Amino acid sequence: MKWLARLFESDSPAQTREESDHDLHRAAAALLMEVARTDGEVDQREQRLLVKAVRERWHLEAEEMEEIVAELDQRLENATDLFEFTIPLRQRWDPETRVQLIYDMWTIAAADGDADSHEEQLIRRVSELLYVSHGDFIRAKLAALGE
């Protein structure tokens, strides 16, 4: 599971741009999975939206999601922050793409009919780590919640 470690390596000739982008997509998928898991369980609607976002936006397959989940479980037990997932995204993604990730996180949080305070807190933390403005955070929330 070297994909996360590769995010912090400087671009080397051995790592192609496609590999680098793919690793960023996996980090984003891990953040989406963490939103789905925040309320204690991943229901079918959250799982369906997660898989849809991952497949359509980042072209990741189910096997890769299983690997991401295993890596996320292991890292979250030892980590105190999501910094390791967000800093590469902040450094390499443009602001619009980062806002889109926040929107996707809100969509997953609201999939079970209730974006609870723990999910909101997580999305707010990620938003701040990604340097997404408060205005964009609110606009993504309202758009995802259909308000």
Helix or strand (DSSP H, E) at 147: none
**Type of residue at 1:** M
Owner of token pair 């701040």: 128
Q: Give the CATH number of domain 17-145.
A: 1.10.3680.10
Residues near 108 by Cβ (< 8 Å), separated by ≥ 6?
32, 35, 36, 46, 49, 50, 53
Domain borders along the chain are 17-145
Task: Provide the CA 142 distance to its chain's centre, in angstroms.
Answer: 18
* Number of neighbours of residue 146 by Cβ within 10 angstroms: 7
pLDDT values of the chain reduced to their tens digit, one per residue, 147 residues: 455 555 555 454 445 555 577 778 878 888 888 888 887 777 778 777 777 777 777 777 777 777 766 666 666 556 556 787 898 899 999 999 999 999 999 998 888 777 889 999 999 999 999 999 999 999 999 999 887
**Type of residue at 117:** S
